[in-house]
A and B are shown apart, each in its own frame.
Chain A
Amino acid sequence: MTELLQFTFSGLTVGAVYALVALGFTLIYNSCDVINFAQGEFVMLGGMTTVFLGLAGVPLPLAACFAVVLTVAVGLALHRFAIEPARGSGAVVLIIITIGASIFLRGAAQVIFDKRFHTLPPFVGGDAIRIAGAAILPQSLVVLAGAVIILVLLWAFIERTLIGKAMVATAANEIAARLVGIDTRAAVGLSFAIAAAIGAVAGILITPIALTSYDVGTVLALKGFAAAMLGGIGSAVGAVIGGLVLGLLEAFAAGYVSSQYKDAVAFLVILIVLLAMPRGLFGRAPVERV
C-alpha cells in the first residue's frame, strides 16, 4: 500500500511533465498540423538556461524568467525561419525540419553549455512529506501545482479571450480564419511561443528532481509524443491524461518490474496506440479538432 502510494506520487510528478510536453505537441499540431519534435529541446532550454544563468550569478527567479523568454524566442524563430518558409510542403518534410531543429538545438546546447548533468536547488526547502508511509518531495508538489496553474491559464486563455478563440478558429478552419481577418501566420507563431513557454517552465520545474543536460530533450520528446498519442493527438484533455497515465505506467513498471524497463513503456504505448487505437483515448474525427 505504501509502495503503491509512493509509485503513484512519483508517477504523477513525471506524468505532469510529460503532460506539459504533450500539450506543447498538441498546441502546435492543432495550429499547423506539424508534429514538433523540437518540443523536448524547449524543456531542455528552460532547465539548462536557468542552471547556467544561475551559475553565472543571476538570482534563480530572474534566471528562470529569462530562460522562458529565451525559449519563447527560439520557438518563434523555429516557426519564422524553419516552419513558415516550408509551408505547403508535405507533413513529412515539416516533421523532418523539426527533427533537424531538435538536433541543431541539442548541438548548440552542447557547445554553449556543456555535456554534464546539472540540477537546481528545490524551489521550496524542507523534508519529504510523509503520507501513509510514502515520502513526497516538496518539489513534486511544486511540479504538480505548476502544471495545474499552466493548465488553468491556458484554458482561460483559450476559452475566455478572443485571441484564444482566434487560435481555435485557425486550427479549425485556416482559410475561414483568414477570411474573417485573422493573421493566421501570427496565430500559428503564437502557438509556437506558447508551446515553447510551457516546455521551458516544465524544464525548470523538473530540473531539481530529475537533473538536466543538453540531451534530455530527446527522451522527453519521445515521452511527450507517446503521451499525446495515447491521449489522442490534437486533444488537449487527452494530452494531459495521456501524460499522467504514461507517468504512472512508467513508475509502476520501474517499481514493480525493473527500472530498466521504464523507458520501454513509452515505446510500448506508442506501438499499442498505433496498432490498436490510432485515435488514442480522446481523439476525435480529424475535422473536429480543437
Chain B
Amino acid sequence: MLAVEEVRSSYGRIEALHGVSLDVAAGEIITLVGANGAGKTTLLRAISGVQPISAGRIRFEARRLDGISAHVRVALGIAQVPEGRQVFAPLSVEDNLRLGGWTRRGERLDAELAWVYELFPALASRRRVSAGTLSGGEQQMLAIGRALMAKPRLLLLDEPSMGLAPMLVEQILDVVRSLKQAGLTVLLVEQNARAALAIADRGYVVETGRIATSGSAGELLADDRVRAAYLGV
C-alpha cells in the first residue's frame, strides 16, 4: 500500500534521512522505533508531503506521490496525527473534527462524528469547548479523531502516547488496535517500543536517518540489540 524507496530529506544543509526504505501492506500495523532525533517524524512528514524530499520515491497504492501537495495526499487517503497533537487551539472540538473531514466537505459527516465520539467518549461531552483548553490526553484523542474524519486508508501516528499517563496510553493503543479491525492501515511511531511492538505486525528500527533493522514484531522483541537499546533489558 505504501512504499518508501531510498528517501533522503534535509533541513537546510543538514540531512536527516539518508536513504530510507520501507513497505507497508494494506491492513498492517507497522511501528517505527528509534531514539530521539533518529528521523521518524521527518519520515512521516515526508510521507504526508509537508517535508520536501531530495531523493527517492514514495508510492501510495501504486501512485507516485512526487509533486503531489500535502492537501491532495489527504484526499488520496493518507492522514496524519502529528507529533505534539497540533490541534487547532482557538476552534472548538467539533470544529476541529469537522475540519478533519475537510477533504470530504459536502458529504454528511454525522456518522463519522458519531463514530469518533464513540471511540473517545471524553470528547463527546466537550464538543463546544475550544481545543486549546483540553488536557493533553483529550488533545491526543482529538488529534486522532480529526485524522479519522478524513476517512483515511493509511493513518500515520507520531508518538500518540507522548506525555500521557499509562492508563491513557493503554486506551489510545487499544483504539489503534480497533482501527486495524476497522480496516485501516497504520504506521505508528512510538518511543514506547514495547507497547508499540505489542500491537504491531512488523516494525522498523530507525537510527540516525537510516533503517537499522526490521522484522516481525516478535522478531524485534526477541532481538538482543533491540532489547538492549529500546526495551531496556
A residues near B, CB below 8 A?
162, 165-166, 168-169, 172-173, 175-184, 287-290
Contacts and interface: CB of A to CB of B under 8 A. Distances in A.
Most central of B48, B70, B100, B146 by chain A CB within 10 Å: B70
Most central of B48, B102, B146 by chain A CB within 10 Å: B102
A288 B89 contact: yes
B69 interface: yes
A285 to B, nearest CB: 11
Nearest to A170: B88
16 contacts: A166-B99, A169-B91, A169-B99, A172-B91, A175-B50, A177-B99, A178-B48, A178-B50, A179-B74, A179-B80, A179-B82, A180-B74, A180-B149, A180-B150, A181-B71, A181-B74
Interface string B80-97: 101000111111000100
Contact of A180 (B72, B89, B132, B146): B146
B99 A182 contact: yes
B79 interface: yes
Given A179-B79, A180-B99, A180-B100, A172 B150 contact: no
A176 B82 contact: yes
B112 to A, nearest CB: 13
A181 B150 contact: yes
A165 B91 contact: yes
A91 B80 CA distance: 29
Interface in B37-75: 48-50, 69-72, 74-75
Contacts of B99: 162, 165-166, 169, 177, 180, 182
B225 interface: no
B82 A162 contact: no
B128 to A, nearest CB: 13
Contacts of A175: 50, 82, 86
Nearest to B101: A180
Contacts of B90: 168, 172, 288-290
Contact of A181 (B75, B87, B95, B98): B75
A140 to B, nearest CB: 35
Nearest to A169: B88
Contacts of B227: none
A168 B91 contact: yes
Contacts of B79: 179-180
Contacts of A288: 89-90, 132
A184 B102 CA distance: 12
B102 A181 contact: yes
A168 B69 CA distance: 20
Closest 3 CB pairs of A and B: A181-B74, A181-B103, A176-B86
Nearest to B90: A290
Contacts of A178: 48-50, 69-71
